[in-house]
Amino acid sequence: MTGYGKKGVVVFIVEGVSDKIALELPMSRLICSDSIRFAVMHGDCLSRSGNGAEKAVSEQIRTLMVKYNYKKSDFVQIVHIVDTDGSFIPDDRVFSREQSGIAYYSDRIETGEYKETVARHHRRRNSALVLAKKKSIMGIPYDIYFMSRNLEHVTQNEGGHVRSSNKVEFAERFADSFADDPYGLMELLCDKSVAAKGDYDSSWNHIMSGTNSLKKCSNLNFFLDSYYNEIYSESE
């Protein structure tokens, strides 16, 4: 992971508007860069078949290039943040139920749409495995980070299904909490109760194992650690 503190654009690609609301201001105050841009997928790109997820990332970059008249050389890093939604668990930990929708537990998922849920899990797992090995997209340094099960679970212990209207409420409350305390966000994501252990590659192995993608965890600490170490190591 390189480029933090250099002149250029750091792009955060997130799934929804609520993620942008929650993270944009505190991240823009944490990251030493000419410009921070947030691009919103408006959905789950990991569920796309084939190489649809990578194409979706490329589309977001091209959109920013047109909107802000950027060149590829203007970008120093793509930071792609996704929710796991518990979707990396084994098929035998997904159970059918009569009610529609999905219910999340620490060791299983229950769903009223069993076949669709399992098929979506397979697509998401395959896409995540491919993207986790990518070092660049469109020639721009790239890393993908997870929130498990989602941002609300990691930051506010909201482990169940969160309605869209509530997501915005949570995001605004979260942004207000860290707008003037961006290092509080860094401390939260690097806390041992949340932060992935090991290194970037091993964090993906961990979240893909067993029912770990249902448990509270994020590997965004590796991005923040890299930034912190690079910026402050010279003064130590």
Question: For 133-178, what is each residue's pLDDT tens digit?
Answer: 999 999 999 999 999 999 888 887 776 666 666 778 888 888 888 8
Q: What are phi and psi of 161, to 5 degrees?
A: -75, 125
Least confident stretch, 2-11, 14-23, 178-187: 2-11
- The yes-or-no verdict on residue 231 having pLDDT over 70 is no
Q: Which residues contact 40 (CB under 8 A, 6 or more apart)?
A: 13, 14, 15, 16, 17, 19, 20
* Residue 125 preceded by cis peptide, ω within 30: no
Please say if the pLDDT value at position 109 is more than 80.
yes
> How much of the chain exceeds pLDDT 90, in percent?
69
What is d(CA 7, CA 9) in angstroms, rounded to the nearest whole number?
A: 7
- Residue 232 pLDDT class (50, 70, 90 cuts): very low
Give the pLDDT score at 65: 97
Going by DSSP bridges, is the β-strand pair 109-111/94-96 parallel, antiparallel, or unpaired? Answer: parallel
Q: What is the pLDDT of residue 234?
A: 41
**Predicted local confidence at residue 162, as pLDDT:** 61
pLDDT given for residue 29 in this prediction: 83
- Bigger pLDDT: 109 vs 182: 109
pLDDT at 1 over 70: no
pLDDT digits 0-9 by tens, 50-73: 899 999 999 999 999 999 999 999
* pLDDT for residue 168: 84
Cβ neighbours, 10 Å, residue 72: 11
pLDDT, tens digit, 9 for 90 and up, residues 66-102: 999 999 999 999 999 999 999 999 999 999 999 999 9
For residue 233, what pLDDT is reported? 40
